[in-house]
């Protein structure tokens, strides 16, 4: 990456506030993990 492009990338990063996105995907991730653990527990208990 040239210096120029790097600056632009950083600039983009500042401009786009993605906190809401981050929280949303993490909620999704936690949901995936919890449901998997639930099924795994069921598997073990049977």
d(CA 36, CA 39): 5
DSSP class per residue in 1-46? --HHHHHHHHHHHHH---HHHHHHHHHHHHHHHHHHHHHHHHHHH-
CB of 3 to another protein, least distance (A): 13
Task: Quote the least distance from Cβ 2 to another protein, whole Å.
Answer: 8
Number of residues that bind another protein (CB under 8 A): 29
Structure tokens at 19: 């906190």
Interface positions, 3-32, toward another protein (CB under 8 A): 5, 8-9, 11-13, 16-26, 28-29, 31-32
Summarize as ranges the residues that interact with another protein (CB under 8 A): 5, 8-9, 11-13, 16-26, 28-29, 31-33, 35-36, 39-40, 42-43, 46
């Amino acid at each position: 990456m040239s210096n120029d492009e790097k600056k632009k990338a950083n600039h983009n990063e500042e401009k786009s506030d993605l906190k809401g996105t981050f929280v949303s995907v993490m909620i999704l991730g936690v949901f995936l993990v919890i449901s998997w653990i639930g099924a795994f527990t069921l598997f073990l208990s049977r």
